[in-house]
Amino acid sequence: MAHKNLKPGKVLLSQGDLYESNINRSPTSYLLNPQSERDMYPEGDTDKNMLLLNLISQETGESVGVVNWFAVHGTSMNNTNTLTSGDNRGYASYLLERHFNGEHGMPGTGPFVGAFASTNLGDVSPNTNGAKCIDTGEDCDGTSSTCNGRCENCIAFGPGTNGDMFESTQIIGNKQYEFAMDLMG
């Protein structure tokens, strides 16, 4: 279907650093990387760069879609979630498409397409409150990712109230959406 709708246009590239949306889920392991690699990220141990391609219709001058890349896993929803979810990236896409296609359309049905893709996300987590021991509330052991020797008790939590995974998904997704809007100008 997309091939049948090809039209002339232009592509605009923009990028910037998005903060408070990702952390390194294994900072102890990160420190084992060569200093030259660690020097690539002077503001921390994760890449904060979001790169955005804005696809502009030559006919209307309007954006018909964006593709952007940001280093964060889609793991705001933890392993207790039994629902189908696009996680934080899906929520960002939903918000961007809703902005351009209107509030009443079903996601994915309008003319504007917002794609939030992954980039160098290795050990990068959206759970910005870090890994905690669910039995004590203390930080997990940084070397083994365990609590009293048990990995089952070490769970990472996002920025949502009391670790609420739905709220965390919305917070991290909303940050990506708002930053993409800023990059679009």
**Going by C-beta distance under 8 Å and a sequence separation of 6 or more, which residues neighbour residue 80?**
165
What's the CA gap between 162 and 149, in Å, rounded? 24
Tokens of 96: 């961007």
CB 17 within 8 A of CB 47: no
DSSP three-state, residue 111: coil
Q: Cα 49 to chain center, whole Å?
A: 11
Catalytic residue among 63, 76, 93, 125: 125
Annotated catalytic, 76?
Answer: no
Q: What is the dihedral of CA 98, 100, 105, 111, to 10 degrees?
A: -130
**What are the Cα distances from residue 156, in Å, to 85, 126, 132, 181?**
18, 9, 6, 28
The residues that are catalytic are 125
